[in-house]
Structure 1
Amino acid sequence: MSEPVFYKLGEKKSGINIPGKVQDFHEIRDKCLRDGVLFEDDSFPANESSFYFAPGKGRRSFEWLRPHQLSDRPMFISDGAQRFDVMQGELGNCWLLAVTHETCIIAVANLTLNDKLFQRVVPHDQTFDKPEYAGIFHFRFWQYGRWVDVVVDDRLPTTNGHLMLMHSKDRHEFWSALIEKAYAKLHGSYEALKGGTTSEAMEDFTGGLTENFELQSNECPPNLLNIMLKAFERSSFLGCSIEALDSSQMEAEMSNGLIRGHAYSVTAIKLVQLSTAKVKGKIPLIRVRNPWGNEAEWKGAWSDKSREWTVVPEREKQQLGLTFDADGEFWMSFTDFKNNFTRLEICNLSPDSLDEDNKRRWEVSYFEGSWVRGISAGGCRNNLQTFHLNPQYLISLVDIDEDDDEDYCIEYF
């Protein structure tokens, strides 16, 4: 499948109308290099207008700094992109982004698990090394059926010489902080990321389609494990969360170590072999990651250093890449996962986002239509005489899943 077309932010065909000149990364970088200056993005300036919806009293003060002002050897990507490169800022619970910007972090962390898609979203034609460095970077996001290229400068919000928001575990690495800035620019400000959902963020970073499952409801499918296994085999992105019943429960730690009102990513699903004198067989385990990247982890069965791991053969542990670090990542049984988390979000990738050796693929067909006044714009159902003129698509489900007893076909509009 051919490489997709990338439109520049604000370009007529990008589907996004914004004021100002359309920005071309290579054109701007080359000009900055010729002039011997570092890029300063006037369309997303280093001030409060890019951070908040609107200026106001009592705002927390911060300083915009470039990576070379934070590190003596800044790198775009250090030793390959990994999910542990993506950590949530330690802002405390006193102001706007402490709770909700992890939806972006979950999407970015999942992005590192798919090298082909990562290179599409994070172009590798950018560096902090001279003579190519000009203080300008760019990233691609999926918007309104198009891949859109977003340019930013590398002035980042900091406090006391440290990045305030998304950052890498390696303090010299800056790709994750810069992609968050580009995503904030796409939406108008950092504060605009506050109201997003994990589903929206995953679709913006992949061009995929998301399914939502309410795990504690009667609508949760009985074959959920099989759905998750198939999704993982197809390299789908998975996120999960525990509902907060009111604002007082947001970011509240439960006795089992899990956090309410907080987004997690699912990084692995495995059927793990057990071997004891009394028990032999496989148990489904789910690996989950907290974007805080610290000791805030699950404390129940199959958690770090729990006794359950003693019945797993050493070879099996090695194949799982099992570690007991305080890195926010942990294992839990599928039963505990389903009984504790309330929502699961699965973002199914398009075929061109998958590697060639991927054994299972989705298939996608695009059909485009339009509503033309007097011809195909039939109005809503209140207009029964003309409603049938609206563009219509007939869908027939001809190849159902073997374990689908109800022969459902999911339609997205």
Structure 2
Amino acid sequence: PPPSTPSKKDYTKTPQEIVHEFWDRYFTKKPGKVTSIFPRALYATLLPPVLPRDGAHSARNAAESYEAAARACRDQVRRIIRECHRTNEKYTDPDFDIESDWSKNCLNGLIRAESSADETPAKKEGEAGSRRRGSPVRRSKAGVEAAGFRGHSVGDSSVTYEPGSFHRLDWIFEAPQFTVDGFSSSDIKQGENGDCWWLAAVATIAHRRELMDKVCVVRDEEVGVYGFVFYRDGEWISTVVDDTLYLSMPDFDFFGDRYDSTQKKSREYKKRYQTGSEALYFARCDDANETWLPLLEKAYAKVHGDYEAISGGFPGEAVEDMTGGVSTTVASNRVLRKDKFWKELVNADGSFVFSLSAIGTGWDVDNSPKTKGGLRLGHAYSVLKATEEMDEDGNKIRLVRIRNPWGQKNDSGVGEWNGPWSDGSKEWTPYWLKKLNHKFGDDGIFWMSFQDVLDTFMYIHRTRLFDEKWTVVQQWTSVNVGWVSGYLNKKFIIEVKKGGTVVIVLTQLDERYFVGLEGQYDFNLHFLLQEAGSDEHICRVRPAHEWERRSVSCELTLDPGKYEVLPKIVASRKDKGRDVEDVVKGWADKNPTKLRQVGMQYDLAHAKGGIPDEDAILSKKKEEKKKKEEEKKRRAKVKKEKEKAKKRREREQARKVTVTVEPGPAVEIRVTGKTEEEEEKADKLEDAIEAKSQEAPAKPEEKEEARKADSTVSSDPVAAIDASESMVPGVPADVEDDDEDDEEEDEDEDEEETAEEAVVDDENAPTPWNAVCVMGLRVYTMDSDVTVALAEPKSVEEASSLVVDSKAVGAT
């Protein structure tokens, strides 16, 4: 390749000056974060939603938030039922109406490929824009085999959904039932969405009826309304959906009217392609008439904005969303005491649920997903059961029952374990088949030894569950994150009154709720826990890997006392990250409906106590600027009045000046001046000129000429007398001093305004670093009096001691 053109270098500066100048320009001069997509001015004619900003640090029972959300959900469904009975119509969800979603906002996120972003809904759906059903599709495993971790490509949607049609449950199913013989992991089959991580989480709790009933709160199958609750950012939220679902195949007459006088062909087509669970485009139940899973998936997609938002993730986070628990990711090769971990996996008291992530260490040459022992890598799996049994010879065998959310193998025979204890392997003697009540079949369920689980799956996700015995307290704040990472000088103080088990979670806002508005930066969270006033830390927490960023946590036993949590946040720029303000400007006209939806989710997330309201701060600055301008006008008016009074006094003194000549008698010297009428006319003319100058401010060059003219000293005798005004009695001596002070203040304000309006146009200048992270600390304990608060450093020395580590920064 040709040699690159060397950049210009200023050799008049030392290398250290160049480095210093680079870092000085690298960071923004005004760090901050968008906390309101929609400023208060947009609600001028509306009643804005009430978003409380207090109470984020108050302790309350872990079950209180759930009870409030469930109650709100039941109340909403009751109102919907009453209205539907009044109108004699089935319920249609106005906020997630897939029947009239011409822009595919229920399917895809805010930011999409530029080619489609510039097209109107009419262009995308046809010239008339009246397409009612989706285009026909060829069913594939593209969505099914999504990576286990979140695969969003911000700025360019890589997920395309093309369902064939949509209909209500009573049209799709012959005898629809919400559940058939209750909830079961064996019901679950993944559809065209890459939400295996969420389905794996559902499978881990499906056998726990109390957990599933907690999520599926209320329903009316006749009206077609279903209410659910989910856990978001430390609080339970509720939502309702209607019973319209996407189907894979288009309607019989999608391509035009077809001759079918007996309707036999259309009935056969519907029976074959559009009837029962197999006809659904997204997740479905194994039973032909069971409906709980597709409706639950639809509700989960709705609260996150669309189906694309729930594509890709880790099952531990999904279990948190479904249970309100706290997940910890464990790297399987780091398990220290396997016996201790096994006891947790067996989970005799039901305090934990587990899921697995199978991730490879490389990729095939053709960049297709790899497999290991028959399992698809980059995929999530559920732990259904862990048991220790005796074999025929009296030896203890540790076995784990696992399920693939696909519910079956794919066309290549991939999806189930093919090693020891797999279906048909030599380990399955009649003794073991009877002992474990296992049957071979293509159902996605398989057994593995505990050691094979540790050797095969890279990450194990353990979720601690909480009941009404636990108390939770939380505190949110925002921090500017430097380019050089270290422990922050802003810390959390936890006060424990009653010793016992404590779960500490450092978290950031769940960006899955406002995909497209995440900003330019990714944040990885770390923290230290230590006793107050101690230099020895109790635990040091960091993420198991770089992809799972939402939270980090630790569980330990603490004695009564005060403890400090020192956060550390490592920020990195996203490859295709966009500034929030640029996204808002770019999509306000392209897709206003989607921006309203995602923007409201963004505002709701940032309306937590402890997070500065940037919109309110900006409004306050504008108000202060307005007051400053009014004060400036008032001072200018006072100054003008002083000048007029001064001139009047000068003219009065100029009319008659008495000079004493030694040694003779006093001599009166009269200076002829203007008459009083002429002076009044001059004053009025001067006022008119002043008013006109205020309406049309003078240009800088005109101001300069006026300043030079004012500084010119006249040779007129009267002017000479005016110049020696300080010798004339009766004129206040502090008038000129006040004027000088006013001029200095005006100059300072002009300099501030100039600095605020300065814009760097250098294309080679680096994009200013402006990483601001919203983080929160949640503490779970059985101590109802636990408290958590924020603490700022008391001195520069203390701040330095928190930020500076005792050794050089490592490679990771």
Q: TM-score range by the shorter chain?
A: 0.7 to 0.9
Letter in 2 for 1:197: F
Contact 1:213 1:345 in 2 (8 A): yes
Q: Which residue is 1:226 aligned to?
A: 340
More helix by share: 2
In 2, the alpha carbon distance for the partners of 1:370 and 1:213 equals 26
Cα-to-partner distance string for 1:55-110 (whole Å, 9 max, x where unaligned): 74676242121111111111111121111111111x4xxxxx3xx31111112112
Give TM-score, length-normalised by structure 1: 0.77
Q: Which moved more, 1:263-272 or 1:225-234?
A: 225-234
In 2, the alpha carbon distance for the partners of 1:30 and 1:249 equals 55
- Is 1:137 the counterpart of 2:226? The answer is yes
- Is 1:5 the counterpart of 2:5? The answer is no
Any idea what SS the aligned residue of 1:7 has? helix
CA drift of 1:319 comes to 5.0
Structure number with higher relative contact order (C-alpha < 8 Å, ≥ 6 residues apart): 2
- Is 1:313 the counterpart of 2:419? The answer is no
Describe the shift of the 1:379–1:105 C-alpha distance in structure 2 as closer, same or farther (beyond 3 A).
Answer: closer
Find the partner of 1:191 among 301, 305, 308.
308
Q: Which residue is 1:40 aligned to?
A: 92
Find the partner of 1:150 among 219, 239, 246.
239
Find the partner of 1:74 among 176, 196, 200.
176
- Is 1:292 the counterpart of 2:406? The answer is yes
Any idea what SS the aligned residue of 2:229 has? strand
Q: Which residue is 1:102 aligned to?
A: 196
Q: Which residue is 1:323 aligned to?
A: 439
Flag the structure with larger Rg.
2
Describe the shift of the 1:5–1:399 C-alpha distance in structure 2 as closer, same or farther (beyond 3 A).
Answer: closer
In 2, the alpha carbon distance for the partners of 1:62 and 1:153 equals 19
Contact 2:163 2:246 in 1 (8 A): no
CA drift of 1:370 comes to 6.1
Q: Which residue is 1:302 aligned to?
A: 421
CA drift of 1:41 comes to 1.1
Describe the shift of the 1:169–1:251 C-alpha distance in structure 2 as closer, same or farther (beyond 3 A).
Answer: farther
- Is 1:365 the counterpart of 2:365? The answer is no
CA drift of 1:258 comes to 1.0
Describe the shift of the 1:83–1:59 C-alpha distance in structure 2 as closer, same or farther (beyond 3 A).
Answer: closer
CA drift of 1:243 comes to 1.1
Q: Which residue is 1:19 aligned to?
A: none
In 2, the alpha carbon distance for the partners of 1:378 and 1:87 equals 42
Letter in 2 for 1:265: S
Contact 2:197 2:312 in 1 (8 A): no
In 1, the alpha carbon distance for the partners of 2:186 and 2:341 equals 26
Any idea what SS the aligned residue of 2:494 has? coil
In 2, the alpha carbon distance for the partners of 1:190 and 1:175 equals 17
In 1, the alpha carbon distance for the partners of 2:328 and 2:303 equals 24
CA drift of 1:408 comes to 6.0
CA drift of 1:233 comes to 2.2
Give the number of equivalent residue pairs: 356
State, as a whole percentage, how many aligned pairs show the same letter.
27
Q: Which residue is 1:17 aligned to?
A: none
CA drift of 1:253 comes to 3.4
Describe the shift of the 1:233–1:396 C-alpha distance in structure 2 as closer, same or farther (beyond 3 A).
Answer: farther
In 2, the alpha carbon distance for the partners of 1:44 and 1:298 equals 39
In 1, the alpha carbon distance for the partners of 2:416 and 2:313 equals 24
Any idea what SS the aligned residue of 1:241 has? strand
Give TM-score, length-normalised by structure 2: 0.40
Contact 1:6 1:146 in 2 (8 A): no
Q: Which residue is 2:449 aligned to?
A: 333
In 1, the alpha carbon distance for the partners of 2:449 and 2:161 equals 43
Q: Which residue is 1:178 aligned to?
A: 295
Cα-to-partner distance string for 1:14-42 (whole Å, 9 max, x where unaligned): 9xxxxxxx991221122112211011112
Q: Which residue is 1:392 aligned to?
A: 493
Cα-to-partner distance string for 1:287-342 (whole Å, 9 max, x where unaligned): 110111114311111111221122x736xx44533221211111011111111111
Gaps of 5+ in 1: 15-21, 92-96, 353-362, 372-376, 401-406
Segments ≥4 residues shifted beyond 3 Å: 1-4, 54-59, 244-254, 368-371, 377-382, 394-400
Contact 1:8 1:150 in 2 (8 A): no
Contact 1:51 1:191 in 2 (8 A): yes
Q: Which residue is 2:745 aligned to?
A: none
CA drift of 1:226 comes to 2.8
Contact 1:242 1:343 in 2 (8 A): yes
Contact 1:8 1:24 in 2 (8 A): no
CA drift of 1:396 comes to 10
Any idea what SS the aligned residue of 1:210 has? strand
Aligned-pair RMSD on alpha carbons?
3.3
Describe the shift of the 1:87–1:229 C-alpha distance in structure 2 as closer, same or farther (beyond 3 A).
Answer: farther
In 2, the alpha carbon distance for the partners of 1:109 and 1:250 equals 27
Any idea what SS the aligned residue of 2:376 has? coil
Cα-to-partner distance string for 1:162-182 (whole Å, 9 max, x where unaligned): 111111000201110000000
